[in-house]
Chain A
């Protein structure tokens, strides 16, 4: 299996775990895990950009969703942050996964 797919799965798991923590109002724990997620997303962005046939626009999708997450985090709107992660981020990751299958 493409290593990128494995990595996407791991990032997805982390996204779901963090969003669950936010839904449970365990904001401190969730925020503590966010830097790991950010690193994961950055790495993933690089891996995706290096794949042949993928447009630059596509790679920016993930960055855009991450940006929206950070805005929600700054506003301390943790329910919105959880929603962005649970729905928009996972949706984007699933789309990328399809490109590597």
Chain B
């Protein structure tokens, strides 16, 4: 079998989805064609790569001994931390990637990004890449940077607990050849890392609240709808409007009267009162923040509007609401229910704000023209929101900056808005061609990739026909999924039982940790007795980890002690010290888990009673 055939067989078996995506291009790839990327024979008989461009030759490997070069290169790196992720820009022949794979530990992962598909295709002919392809610790993204996969892989391997050990490397020579792409790649990784940090801060901030809100909202789950119920129900040409609450909303909100019934109007919670004041009833409202102030929902005509919410949204809002709740899943805990119901998860890409979540929701239901209004992401003077409202954030002054506005001027903005703006730009960059995003804010910051129009022009161009949106929505809401009710009730009743089991197991786990510490401190080696403690602890961990309700408890534990959770993966390099530190951190987390389970159980039992009433 040739090198190429071996590589293809490996791709089919181990990276089937990727292979399916590139198969046609791969088959049609002309290996003999003249391209910048060249593969030649080195002095030691191995193959090496170089890239010829107008500016000359960029060496990608040693033409004497590429293996020795890679072995020398890797010596500068050590990756001791558990569950670390290394992202490398450039693969070429895979010499450096293979050295990387050789030094990372079993729990860590590598994401390889090859910006130019043809380089990968050509390399498959000359280099045996099967070690990389077969490894379950290697993910490969090929093609122009920004094609989603990098984000997907980062999302799979990088959380706030291990983002500190995320490392970014570049294949020698690639920065010279693909300077622009490398810049975009670095930005994407940095943006993801920043977003994770925001999520970590959010979870630290909201941790317990997320758990308590979830329990409080359980009673609303039966006889409700799911976001995906609305996928594909609206006519193809339907426009979706995200009504955010930026200061420019005051200027064009009245145009929405002309668009009622002709477009899907999705209001963010912060825009509800402005809409109510104007006499406009949106088709949907969305709220995701666990602590969104209840006054936003009161006296705002909110009660009967179909409500996109999360299981951990503010329970006061869900209690006030009398209409149909539509779940857009957010948490690992609630995803377990989706799995039980055999429903695909409604994973909403939140982007960090209610408006970005609204955008994601309209995308999720299949709308191809999405219009943003009130999405200033900038100040209007000192005003931050519609109706002249001013809402400050912590350390706001430190993050003030100026960026390009929709009207060509420079506008004043702040750190969190810039982050949301970058999120939009990244998402829009990766949208299929048939999706159009129109920024009809008529003010505020310019979002790259959007078409800037006035709302009146949007109305006149795209919203001429009455599409009877109300009736379409009513038709979906009439199916409240009563068929799921029995399974839903069973799921939550099992959660209560699991909490009881968790309490007993965590008690035992703490005892085992104490025993481990006592015995290991004396023996200093992993004797059979000490090892048995580890095995029993692992068994308990695994059993608890499989309980859906574990994920709720996890939120509470992270809130209590984020550092212990994070430090589980840190290493000092000395086995005894690492083991002792690990067991101390683990025991602390078990104690927190025990306390959290005891705290949550009574409320959960009451919630299930309310649900069944």
Contact = CB atoms under 8 A, between A and B. Distances in A.
Given A83-B64, A87-B64, A87-B65, A23 B73 contact: yes
B522 interface: no
B61 A26 contact: no
Contacts of A79: 59, 61-62, 69, 172-173
A86 B76 contact: no
A19 interface: yes
Contacts of B61: 79
Interface residues of B, number: 16
Interface string A17-60: 00110011110000000000000000000000000000000000
Contacts of A83: 62-65, 69
A77 B63 CA distance: 12
A6 to B, nearest CB: 26
Given A77-B59, A79-B172, A80-B59, A24 B72 contact: yes
Given A82-B69, A83-B64, A83-B65, A26 B59 contact: no
Interface residues of A, number: 13
Nearest to A83: B64
B75 interface: yes
A48 B75 CA distance: 34
A88 to B, nearest CB: 9
Contacts of A82: 62, 69, 72
Interface in B35-77: 43, 57, 59, 61-65, 68-69, 72-73, 75-76
Contacts of A23: 62, 69, 72-73
Contacts of A26: 76
A26 B57 CA distance: 20
A83 B44 CA distance: 12
Nearest to A79: B59
A86 B68 contact: yes
Nearest to A84: B64
A87 B72 CA distance: 13
Contacts of A24: 72-73, 75-76
A24 B72 CA distance: 7
A82 B191 CA distance: 36
B51 to A, nearest CB: 12
Nearest to B58: A77
Interface in A57-76: none
B72 to A, nearest CB: 3
A66 B195 CA distance: 51
Contacts of A25: 73, 172
A6 B408 CA distance: 70
B193 to A, nearest CB: 23
B63 A80 contact: yes
A20 B75 contact: yes
A74 to B, nearest CB: 13
Nearest to B170: A25
Nearest to A88: B64
Interface in B134-193: 172-173
18 contacts: A19-B72, A20-B75, A23-B72, A23-B73, A24-B73, A25-B73, A25-B172, A77-B57, A77-B59, A79-B61, A79-B172, A80-B62, A80-B63, A82-B62, A83-B64, A87-B43, A87-B64, A87-B65
Interface of A: 19-20, 23-26, 77, 79-80, 82-83, 86-87
Interface of B: 43, 57, 59, 61-65, 68-69, 72-73, 75-76, 172-173
Q: Which 10 A-B pairs have the closest CB atoms?
A: A23-B72, A83-B64, A24-B76, A79-B59, A83-B62, A23-B73, A23-B69, A20-B72, A87-B64, A79-B62
